Amino acid sequence: MGYEINESSVKYTINLLLIICISVMALQFTHYNFMHTNSLIGPFIILVFLSMYFFFFVKQLHISKYTVLLVSMTTLFFFYYIVNVNGNFEIDVQYLLYLTVIYFMFIFISIFKETFIIYPMWTIFVFLYSNIVFLPMLIEDIRFINSNGLIAFLLLFFCMMSLNVSNMIFRVINIYSIILLFIVIYDTNSRTTILALLFVLFIYSFWNKICNYIKPVIISIVALSILITFFYIKIKGTEIGTYLNEVSLKYTDKSLFSGRQRLWEGAINNVVDSDKVLLGLGNNVQFELLNGYLHSLYVQLFYQGGLVGLLLFMCVLWIIMSLIKETKNVSTDHRLKTLVSFFIGILILQVFEGQLIYSFSVISVLSWLILALLVNKALFYIKDQNV
């Protein structure tokens, strides 16, 4: 019995520490910010090692061919990205630490049998954060930035994961938080976040019909995302570009061309002109504008990691898609539906955001956390079906 108490205590401690780190990181995008995000890399490393200790000594691994494929390909991608350093520039140690922390977090959450996430704790956290941070900003009419919308979108995940809880108090808290987060997302007027949310709601609502075709759906989304990148660069100044811009101005009060086309074209040209198409310019090279943030996962991957980095990441996605496909017979599981829906939502975000590999931020950490929880859930079902 004492051992069970110790195991439970460790789980609650890990969740509490992670929630505290996430809370502080999320404040970076508000006027309540009091600490640089990089200051939390140390605590995150401690948290990862604590999690590793917990998993190694208390839990068991999901052992299957998919586990081996996932660990191998993810390790290959992150190892390549970490060692792909440009010798002509100073090494960005903090960025390398970030990639390392994300790698270990993703692997250890993915492959151990029981996730350590305690969703009621996260429900309370989302409720408190929304009321302490978002609600005053709404009341005081403080302008939200796109990052606030992204954070609200990712926090919405924990609310949806807890929709089927039986406790009435938690249900009321959850519904209230969902409504508040919807308002924040709408108020940011972030077209990318709103589009991702619409995809989440659509996939979740029609999961029973879509689950048998989920792999082609995801492949189509990724392929279209890359095609949209090149299309977006080329249509500026054309007849179709002018028409689409007018539509965007009419319905969103925002120009379709926010400057991303210049970023993407400039970044791609830099790689091509440097004859670094295969390997990219290196993880320690940043584009000269916006602190190197290229607002696109695929352009960022190509810029820093070249075609090799892009291909390796696609292989990781392919394994995740294969895992999801293997769970298609489990069409009634609420949490699986939520996880797959937000996975697709995160893919939609990468078309115009690309926070997955850009920097150590609450957006990247939450995104990788959701991906890891999806893999963990899928591996659980595959193992259960094979028993």
pLDDT in the model for residue 10 = 73
Res. 237 pLDDT band, cuts 50 70 90: confident
What is the C-alpha separation between 345 and 348, in angstroms, rounded? 5
What pLDDT sits at residue 91? 86
The CA distance from 363 to 121, in Å, is 19
**Domain residue ranges of the chain, discontinuous segments joined by +:** 63-386
Cα–Cα distances in angstroms (integers) from residue 55 to residues 13, 48, 107, in the given order: 14, 10, 11
Instruction: Check: CB of residue 54 under 8 Å from CB of residue 116.
Output: yes
What does the pLDDT look like over 359-374, one tens digit per residue? 778 899 899 999 999 9
The C-alpha atoms of residue 353 and residue 276 are separated, in whole angstroms, by 23
Query: Looking at the predicted structure, is the pLDDT value of residue 387 above 60?
Result: no
Lowest-confidence pick of 59-73, 84-98, 333-347: 59-73
Report how far residue 257's alpha carbon sits from residue 271's, in angstroms, rounded to the nearest whole number.
23
Instruction: Give the residue with greater pLDDT, 3 vs 101.
Output: 101
The answer on pLDDT for 385 being more than 70 is no
Please tell me the least confidently modeled range out of 9-18, 317-326, 359-368. Answer: 9-18
What is the model's pLDDT at position 372? 93
Digit-coded pLDDT (tens) for 35-90: 666 666 666 677 766 666 666 666 566 677 888 899 999 999 999 999 998 888 88
Would you say 102 and 364 are in contact if contact means Cβ atoms under 8 Å apart? yes
State the average pLDDT for the chain. 84
Helix, strand, coil % over all residues of the chain, rounded to 5:
75, 0, 25
Q: What percent of the chain has pLDDT over 90?
A: 34
| CB contact at 8 A, 364 and 147 | no
| 30 SS3 class | coil
**pLDDT exceeds 80 at position 116:** no
Is the Cβ–Cβ distance between 300 and 313 less than 8 Å?
Answer: no
Tell me if 147 sits within 8 A of 185, measured CB to CB.
no
357 contacts 80 by C-beta, under 8 angstroms: no
- Average pLDDT score over residue span 242-246: 84
Is 196 in a helix, a strand, or coil? helix
Distance of CA 119 to the CA centre of its chain: 18
Q: How far, in Å, CA of 304 to CA of 54, rounded?
A: 34
**What angle in degrees, to the nearest 10, is found between the helix axes of 191-205 and 146-161?**
20
Question: What pLDDT, on a 0 to 100 scale, did the predictor assign at position 37?
Answer: 60
- The average pLDDT across 118-138 equals 91
The confidence score (pLDDT) of residue 58 equals 60
* 90 neighbors 111 (Cβ within 8 angstroms): no
pLDDT of residue 245: 82
Phi, psi of 71 (to 5 degrees): -65, -45
CA–CA gap between residue 230 and residue 239 (Å, rounded): 16
**pLDDT classification of 1: cutoffs 50, 70, 90:** very low
Residue 178 CB neighbour total at 10 angstroms: 18
Whether pLDDT at 110 is above 80: yes
- Which is higher by pLDDT, 239 or 112? 239
Joined together, the tokens standing for residue 25 give 């990181």
Distance (Å, rounded) from C-alpha 97 to C-alpha 93?
A: 6
SS3 112: strand
pLDDT at 380: 79
